Amino acid sequence: MEYANNILETIGNTPLIKLNKLTAELPCLVLAKYETFNPGNSVKDRMALQMVEDAEAAGVLKPGGTIIEGTSGNTGMGLALAAVVKGYRMICVISDKQSKEKIDILKAVGSEVHVCPTDVAPDDPRSYYSTARRLATEIPNSWYVNQYDNPSNTKAHYLSTGPEIWEQTDGKVTHFVVGVGTGGTISGVGTYLKEKNPNIKVWGVDTYGSVFKKYHETGIFDENEIYPYITEGIGEDILPENVRFDIIDGFTKVTDKDAAVYTQRLAKEEGMFLGNSAGAAIKGLLQLKEHFTKDDVVVVLFHDHGSRYVGKMFNDDWMREKGFIE
């Protein structure tokens, strides 16, 4: 009989799916690494499990302990699944710009959720970074995950996502395009692919209000670049240690409006019911059109599932309110 011993054993080995209508203007083959097939419906399941298992091995996460993390929702879900199977308490600290669906889903899998204001500096005691760190000092036998600087984040994608893409494309991949938040996915996959073929180009998709693109191009951390934005799961107002800028060939920025509109278009034109960052990723890829030739194989990674955004990007009243549709 063929079965998994628990839900965690189903993480990874997600399919590659050809894009057709939205990429018709491009000369190349575009393949989506479709991470919503993971049990927690996002790419973050991979690194969540890796971080938990590495913490257990290092002795910093002990039996009966509490896992604490600041999350935009998806890492929290992956950690929550690991906590359920392995018997840990889970506390997620989330910013108030995240969808209600994300908060409800985290609660559905047994997590305690603390909601913090988005529009404060990262070092403000009310920020979700600061709140997660504080809770970890106050709660005994707890472990603060810190996905931004935890090397197991990048390691997970070096060990799983990168090798899968290489094998699924039979080594023919020429470009990897992905939205960048904590940096683990782009750095882990990018490092693996460039070890296999240094000519592979790695492109990050950034959002307006985030510091990545300018920092990559100039080495300047410009606080004037930082302002609140709507796109979820990508961009940062900090420089996570997991973002290996030397692995990344370039960034392209996508507007909140384009990310939201293309999230809808993926569903209506490709049958791909995906999250907000997927809209940003496909629009970013289209903006890079001049970099591709007819012989290229471009892999774009789609992070998560559309069910987390039904009250936002898939709600026309919300879209009109934001000025994203007429």
Catalytic positions: 44
As a whole number of angstroms, the distance between CA 35 and CA 308 comes to 14
As a whole number of angstroms, the distance between CA 48 and CA 197 comes to 28
pLDDT tens-digit profile, the chain (326 residues): 999 999 999 999 999 999 999 999 999 999 999 999 999 999 999 999 999 999 999 999 999 999 999 888 899 999 999 999 999 999 999 988 888 888 999 999 999 999 999 888 888 999 988 999 999 999 999 999 999 999 999 999 999 999 999 999 999 999 999 999 999 999 999 999 999 999 999 999 999 999 999 999 999 999 999 999 999 999 999 999 999 999 999 999 999 999 999 999 999 999 999 999 999 999 999 999 999 999 999 999 999 999 999 999 999 999 999 999 98
pTM: 0.95
The domains found in the chain, sorted by start residue, are: 7-37+160-320 (3.40.50.1100), 44-144 (3.40.50.1100)
As a whole number of angstroms, the distance between CA 113 and CA 75 comes to 13
As a whole number of angstroms, the distance between CA 17 and CA 168 comes to 10
Q: Are 259 and 207 in contact (CB under 8 A)?
A: yes
Strands (E), 13-171: 16-18, 29-34, 66-70, 89-95, 112-116, 142-144
Per the DSSP assignment, residues forming a β-bridge with 207 are: 254
